[in-house]
Amino acid sequence: MTIYPAIDIKGGRAVRLTQGRADQETVYAENPADVAAQFKAAGSAWVHVVDLDGAFAGEPQNLSVVQAIAALGMKVQLGGGLRTRAAVERALGFGVTRVVIGTRAAESETFVGELVQAFGEKVAVGIDAKNGQVAVKGWVATAGMSALALAARMDTLGVRTLIHTDIGTDGMLTGPNYPAQEAMLNAGKFNVIASGGVSRREDVIELAKLAQRHSRLDGVIVGKALYEGRVKLTDLLTIAKG
């Protein structure tokens, strides 16, 4: 299982939003690349980056910051505003390892299918769910379908990785929604990266147990708990290795 430490970028800075609300912002660092360097020093190969400005604007806004992170030699998984093929190609050109398609995945299966054909495993789909329903456009709108239904459709398109975020737990430090993550694992043949709610090392231990039962649980994204010192990345990496 892979640990994906998270960096959310807004206005060029590393921040966290509580449940995706722009008015609930905490700034953790002026330079996100400095944070990524700390993650790398702790032993992390990956970093999960969200361009929050991009998610709200509909196109990436912080690619220069992303490029600085990629230049550290880390594998970058990037989401936020990737709603055109040109934006995807630009992100990959800036050194991104895997792009995460969110809003557009709920809007256009054709778009996702074309990306998968062109870029294969470099394309992941982010499914953000609120009470089991898909949320889009920076979580300010709903797509009118269930997360599991969208996952099944992505499976038929050949998407190999889904990032499943439970909005109800994201940033709340209340623990992951294990039943929702397990239901997602049973919805198709794709790998799942769990996101939302990790607040202590025991949460990652439980997810590691789930990964033993479901080999397609690829990993977990950890954000706020790292920034607030509730967990240590070195410890989580050790747990994830089993």
Which residues are catalytically annotated? 8, 128
229: DSSP letter: T
Asked if residues 124 and 98 have their Cβ atoms less than 8 Å apart, the reply is yes
- DSSP class of 127: E
Query: Hey, what amino acid is at 194?
Result: A
- For 79, half-sphere exposure in the C-beta direction (CA atoms, 13 angstrom radius) is 26
Which contacts of 56-61 are long-range, i.e. CB under 8 A and separated by 24 or more positions? 56/22, 56/81, 56/137, 56/138, 56/140, 57/81, 58/83, 58/103, 58/137, 59/83, 59/84, 59/87, 60/87, 60/90, 60/91
